[in-house]
Amino acid sequence: MQRDTVRQKAFTRRALVFSGGAAALTTVLVGRLYYLQVVSADRYRVLADENRISWRLLPPPRGRILDRFGVELANNQRNYRILLIPEQTPDVEQTLVELKDLVRLDEHDHRRVLRDAGRNASFMPVTVLENLSWEQFARINVHMPDLPGVQPDVGESRFYPYRESLAHLVGYVGPVSPKEQTGEPLLELPGFRTGKSGIEKTREKALRGKAGNSQVEVNAYGRAIRELEREDGNPGHDVRLSIDMELQRFAYERLKEDAGSVVVVDVHTGEVLALVSAPSFDPNAFNLGLDVEQWRVLTQHPRTPLVHRAISGQYAPGSTFKMIIALAALEAGVISADHRVFCGGKIEFGDRFFHCWKKGGHGELSLANAIEQSCDIHFYDVARRVGIDRIGKMASRFGLGVPTGIGLEGEEDGLVPTRAWKRKRHDEPWHQGETLVSGIGQGYLLVTPLQLAMMTAQIANGGFRIKPTLVARDPQTSVRQANAGTPLDGVHQASAGPESIGLSAASLSLIHRAMDMVNNSPYGTAYRSRIAEPAMAIAGKTGTVQVRRITKAERQTRLLKNHERPWKDRDHALFVGYAPVSNPRYAVSVVIEHGGGGASAAAPVARDVLEEVQRRDPGRTPMIGELAVDTEEPSDI
């Protein structure tokens, strides 16, 4: 009995202990549940939503690039593409084989799709092909039942409707490189493209816009189920250029068989109306993706189509520089307007002979006649009298030897030599014979076609300094920049009044008359390239630049004519001019590499371009962007 009592008490104690433990555990569990469901409810609700909801960036539509009249130079068009979702096809390899029967799918694309499918989650779409034609896209849609996992899709792709005629100026877009990654999420989106050259690059910030976002519900595997919310971003701003597209296309078509450039500017505003470089390339090819062979052709082409000759090509100016020589001498007072020199075909200086392009010589010529007939002997004499340093100062007053500030990457400085420059660069003294060579625009002298056009424009407008304008002015942007004291290089700006270069009216009048004679006098070197209609008459100056020195032995034998030499040994052909003579409005520079004579090759192109620009007269109509209001911050250019 006593033993049963002891057992009963022991059981009771154990029951109490177990009951207490259970009660304690229940209390802890209830407390924990209260903490999770009540105290921390908001926190875990957010965490659950974060697992359920995915935020995705939406790339904004890229801004358009327009000409002065609103013609689209770069826009966005539908991008018909094919995506493949690996989990929805039993055999990715077999699906790709079946696709090859419908569209062109090369081995490179085949390997890329297999690689991307293996790297990514099976539910993530893989891009198979982009930029399909509508016929190809429709063909895929018709065969959808036989292509498991294939998903047709429509996006946007950059398109350049004028292709080669604008490639260097407008530029192109391409995939974001590692060096361009700045931490901005938009730049990390697969397939996102940024400007790589031209206006596409210099106006990247304005054209890019701001990204939007999409709130998507996903399941536990991350697969999108439905879109909950969508906020579209801000499209990129349109960029309006001073270019007249029809004039640009005309100039390119006139030049495209050669290697060279054409630049047309308004002599009063500095607006660049045409900026042509040839040969060129199709910028759409870069957006679509170049294969190895296409890249090899572009980079190894003997005429270097990727080089923007209008701003990056550097050439000796040849006889187009003779106006600078004449102005330097006239303004320094070392010669007068009636200065005369006899040309017998060559002169001896030191231990060598300096030759005129006309073997028998021109006889005695005045300064104006020397420009008209491009007499080298006359300008050897004038250059020797004025000296290289004063020549250099006059060239600098016209903006030669420094970038113009047009706002495009890759613009070269050119070169205007002086005594100090040679001492610093070569640690050698300047020789008088080098001054004579500079007198006909050769030797160390280098200019770009854009610099030549600006030089000519400032001669034509009466000696007033202008800067090249490429992008239409936005009034609100201009006010902000003016208030901040920021220069408006490369952007159209309201002038506070013309700034004179500081030349006498008499000197400029002589140069104008001489350039008029070049085209409109029977003795002028460009007489055959005149415009007979008085209201459209042009004035100009030819230039022919030797690309190699002619030896004494070659002079004693028959010299090969330009067309008889190998292309690389032919002279460069140049012409600068303006029109109309009676009231100058447009200036042009034409450079044709290895084109032969300036009179025979470059002058006819310049004549046709000046006739076309006068017919169109784009400078009389303001750029379409001048009345636009932009409330966004200006981008750098």
Q: What is the pLDDT of residue 150?
A: 82
CA 178 to chain centre: 22
**SS3 state of residue 208:** helix
What type of residue is 208? R
Whether a cis peptide bond, with omega within 30° of 0, leads into 152 is no
- Select from 599, 543, 323 the least CA-distant residue to 455: 323
What's this model's pTM, rounded to 2 decimal places? Answer: 0.81
Report d(CA 523, CA 515) in Å as an integer.
Answer: 12
Least confident among 130-139, 226-235, 252-261, 530-539: 226-235
Q: Given a cut of 50, is residue 630 above it in pLDDT?
A: no
Q: What is the pLDDT of residue 489?
A: 44
- 162-205 pLDDT per residue, tens: 999 999 999 999 888 878 877 787 786 666 789 999 999 999 99
Q: Please return the burial class of 146, using the count of CB atoms within 10 Å of its CB with bins 0-12, 13-18 and 19+.
A: exposed
Q: Given a cut of 50, is residue 234 above it in pLDDT?
A: yes
Architecture of the domain made up of 245-620: 3-Layer(aba) Sandwich (3.40)
CA angle (328, 332, 336) in 5-degree steps: 90
* Average of per-residue pLDDT across 468-492: 50
Report d(CA 402, CA 415) in Å as an integer.
Answer: 8
Report d(CA 473, CA 471) in Å as an integer.
Answer: 6
Q: Please return the burial class of 624, using the count of CB atoms within 10 Å of its CB with bins 0-12, 13-18 and 19+.
A: middle
* Average of per-residue pLDDT across 295-301: 86
Say if CB 605 and CB 618 are below 8 A apart.
no
Q: Given a cut of 80, is residue 347 above it in pLDDT?
A: yes
Q: What is the pLDDT of residue 627?
A: 35
Place of tokens 């096809």: 89
Whether a cis peptide bond, with omega within 30° of 0, leads into 279 is yes
Q: How many other β-carbons are positioned within 10 Å of the β-carbon of residue 521?
A: 18
Q: What is the pLDDT of residue 218?
A: 58
Higher local confidence (pLDDT), 97 or 21: 97
Q: Tell me the C-alpha to C-alpha distance, in Å, between residue 323 and each of 37, 290, 337, 391, 468.
A: 89, 46, 13, 11, 21
Say if CB 59 and CB 186 are below 8 A apart.
yes
Q: Please return the burial class of 104, using the count of CB atoms within 10 Å of its CB with bins 0-12, 13-18 and 19+.
A: exposed
* Average of per-residue pLDDT across 441-463: 97
Q: What is the pLDDT of residue 271?
A: 96
- Select from 441, 412, 457, 411 the least CA-distant residue to 317: 441
- Residue 517: DSSP 8-state: H
Q: Which residues pair with 79 in a beta bridge?
A: 155
Higher local confidence (pLDDT), 368 or 9: 368
* Average of per-residue pLDDT across 18-39: 69
Phi, psi of 503 (to 5 degrees): -110, 145
Q: Given a cut of 80, is residue 567 above it in pLDDT?
A: no
Say if CB 61 and CB 77 are below 8 A apart.
no
Least confident among 134-143, 318-327, 597-606: 134-143
Q: Kindly give the residue spans of alpha helices, DSSP state H, lying in 409-559.
A: 419-426, 432-438, 449-460, 475-484, 505-520, 552-556
The highest-level CATH class for domain 56-240 is: alpha beta
CA 541 to chain centre: 28
Q: Kindly give the residue spans of alpha helices, DSSP state H, lying in 448-578.
A: 449-460, 475-484, 505-520, 552-556
- 48-103 pLDDT per residue, tens: 444 556 666 777 889 999 999 999 999 998 888 888 888 878 888 888 888 888 88
Phi, psi of 437 (to 5 degrees): -65, -40
Phi, psi of 623 (to 5 degrees): -65, 145
Report d(CA 345, CA 510) in Å as an integer.
Answer: 25
Q: What is the pLDDT of residue 103?
A: 86
Q: Given a cut of 50, is residue 239 above it in pLDDT?
A: yes
Report d(CA 445, CA 400) in Å as an integer.
Answer: 10
- Select from 67, 64, 62 the least CA-distant residue to 470: 67
Say if CB 370 and CB 399 are below 8 A apart.
no
Q: What is the pLDDT of residue 219?
A: 59
Report d(CA 619, CA 269) in Å as an integer.
Answer: 9
Phi, psi of 126 (to 5 degrees): -120, 130
Say if CB 579 and CB 539 are below 8 A apart.
yes
* Average of per-residue pLDDT across 348-371: 94
Place of tokens 């304005």: 206
Say if CB 493 and CB 469 are below 8 A apart.
yes
Q: What is the pLDDT of residue 98?
A: 85
Q: How is 30-86 classified by DSSP, letter by letter? A: HHHHHIIIIITHHHHHHHHHHHHEEEEEEPPPPPPEE-TT--EEEEEEEEEEEEE-G
Say if CB 343 and CB 361 are below 8 A apart.
yes
The catalytic site residues sit at 319
- The pair of structure tokens assigned to 321 is 């520089």
Say if CB 590 and CB 584 are below 8 A apart.
no
- Select from 591, 578, 590 the least CA-distant residue to 537: 578
Q: How confident is the model at residue 39 (pLDDT cuts 50, 70, 90)?
A: low
- Select from 562, 571, 567, 575 the least CA-distant residue to 605: 575
Higher local confidence (pLDDT), 23 or 533: 533
Least confident among 200-214, 291-305, 386-400, 464-478: 464-478
Report d(CA 169, CA 276) in Å as an integer.
Answer: 8
Report d(CA 570, CA 139) in Å as an integer.
Answer: 53
Q: What is the pLDDT of residue 631?
A: 32
* Average of per-residue pLDDT across 455-470: 97
- The pair of structure tokens assigned to 317 is 């100016």
Helix%, strand%, coil% for the chain, nearest 5: 45, 20, 35
Higher local confidence (pLDDT), 569 or 464: 464
Q: Given a cut of 80, is residue 386 above it in pLDDT?
A: yes
Q: Given a cut of 50, is residue 398 above it in pLDDT?
A: yes
Report d(CA 165, CA 249) in Å as an integer.
Answer: 6
Q: Given a cut of 80, is residue 616 above it in pLDDT?
A: yes
- Residue 234: DSSP 8-state: B
Cβ contacts of 483 within 8 Å, gap of 6 or more: none
Q: What is the pLDDT of residue 220?
A: 55
Q: Given a cut of 70, is residue 107 above it in pLDDT?
A: yes
H/E element, 343 = strand 340-343
Q: How is 238-269 classified by DSSP, letter by letter? A: PEEBS--HHHHHHHHHHHTTSSEEEEEEETTT
H/E element, 176 = none
Structural domain boundaries in the chain: 2-39, 56-240, 245-620
Least confident among 154-163, 166-175, 323-332, 418-427: 154-163
Say if CB 319 and CB 340 are below 8 A apart.
no
